[in-house]
Amino acid sequence: MLEIIEKHIRTIEQTTLSTAEEAENFRIQYLGKKGILTTLFADFKTVPNEEKKAVGQALNALKTSAEATLAQIQVKPSARKSGPVEDFSRPGYATPPGAHHPISLVRNEIVSIFERMGFAVAQGPEMEDDWHNFSALNFPPEHPARDMQDTFFLAKDPDWALRTHTSSVQVRTMESQKPPIRIIAPGRVFRNEAISSRSHCVFHQVEGLYIDQNVSFADLKQTLLEFARAFFGEKTEIRLRPSYFPFTEPSAEMDIWWGLENEVDYRMTKGTGWLEIMGCGMVDPAVLESCGIDPGVYSGYAFGMGIERIAMQRFQIPDIRAFYENDLRFLGNFSGAV
């Protein structure tokens, strides 16, 4: 066995490797799992004791020689393509800071304010069935209020649609939880509306729901006033105008004083100075009953606001379409904002 090992050592000493393919074949032949060295080390146990020292030293020498030959190979690099050479002495480019989308900035701030007021965040699917999107909210099939919201119905199943409001999350919460319930539901909603500087077919809402005993309209008004002053400033003025929603009674629209200082103010408020930011009202007893809550024991209020409108007021953005055009020049205005 010693003679075989020495023969391999002499062969390796005379071997010249010039290509990557030759090097790989050499590695497999001598150092592979089924290579010569693996076989010789396996046969080492049959060597007589008096020869083990010499054979072991020879095996180690063979392994060292094979590894050294493989390590010394120099494969010629391929010819460099002609062209300009990179100047590594030039200063590097700084990585630009990331930017939060203005919708995310406003949504996170709204959620944070209501969380401090004791509201928990609830989520729901964007594709909803008729019950959660309409019927449980007091929209019977023949009710004219369905015409208030142009809906993207799913073609293969007219009983399913892209949700037109996050009120469907309120229904799911009332069905699965017992009062007291205090939640907000931020999310994206869809309506088949004409796209303009003031409206879009995709937008974001934050809706709130509070169900407990002895909840009154005064509780709703105070909650919304606290939110408005926490978000827009301590001196913010609000007004509530009577309105109509199938799922609340009485219902109201809430406006904040935007002002009339420039052309954007006049355009966004239609010359009134007031900007409508949400609808609200006391939860209709029929909605409570359809969700399994006794309206004789519990009452509650609900509200919903569009995030885009508030973001436009916050950042003085004159066109709602800017939120969805992915223009890096627009998004770059919010770099580093948190």
Residue 296 pLDDT greater than 70, yes or no: yes
Place of tokens 């469907």: 168
Confirm whether 80 is domain-assigned: no
- Looking at the fold, whether 212 and 264 belong to one and the same domain comes out as yes
Mean pLDDT comparison of 57-66, 145-154, 161-170, highest-scoring range:
161-170
Domain assignment present for residue 85? The answer is no
Peptide bond preceding 140: is omega within 30 degrees of 0, i.e. cis?
no
Domain final residue pick, 49, 71, 93: 71
Q: Are strands 120-121 and 181-190 parallel, antiparallel or unpaired?
A: parallel
pLDDT band at residue 148 using 50, 70 and 90 as cut-offs: low
Q: Which of 71, 90, 114 is the last residue of a domain?
A: 71
| Residue 45 in tokens | 């146990």
CATH code (residue 118): 3.30.930.10
Do 117 and 65 lie in one domain? The reply is no
For residues 258 and 250, the answer to whether their CB atoms sit within 8 Å is: no
What is the extent of the structural domain holding 222?
102-325
Residue 215 lies in a domain: yes
Gyration radius of the chain over CA positions: 37
Are residues 303 and 189 both part of a single domain? yes
Q: Report yes or no on 14 lying in a domain.
A: yes
Domain presence at residue 269:
yes
Residue 303 lies in a domain: yes
Is residue 179 in some structural domain?
yes
Q: Are residues 139 and 210 in the same domain?
A: yes
Per-residue pLDDT reduced to its tens digit, 214-237? 999 999 999 999 999 999 889 889
Whether residue 80 is predicted with pLDDT greater than 60 in this model: the reply is: no
Q: Which residues contact 206 (CB under 8 A, 6 or more apart)?
A: 107, 110, 111, 114, 166, 184, 185, 186, 304, 305, 307
pLDDT band at residue 287 using 50, 70 and 90 as cut-offs: very high
Inside any domain, residue 95: no
239 and 163 both lie in a single domain: yes
**Tally of domains within the chain:** 2
Residue ending a domain, among 52, 71, 90, is 71
Query: For the residues of 167-190, what is the DSSP string, one character each?
Result: HHHHHHHHHH-PSPEEEEEEEEEE
The answer on 310 and 208 residing in a single domain is yes
Check pLDDT > 60 for residue 82: no
The answer to whether residues 25 and 114 belong to one domain is no
Q: Find out whether 187 and 123 touch, Cβ atoms under 8 Å.
A: yes
Average pLDDT over residues 144-170: 78
Handedness of CA 155, 165, 292, 124 (dihedral sign): positive
Summarize pLDDT for 243-279 with one digit per residue, the tens: 999 899 999 999 988 888 888 778 777 888 888 889 9
> Given this model, what pLDDT does residue 77 score?
47
* 121 and 222 fall within a common domain: yes
Q: What is the pLDDT of residues 181-219, one digit of tens each?
A: 999 999 999 988 777 777 788 889 999 999 999 999 999
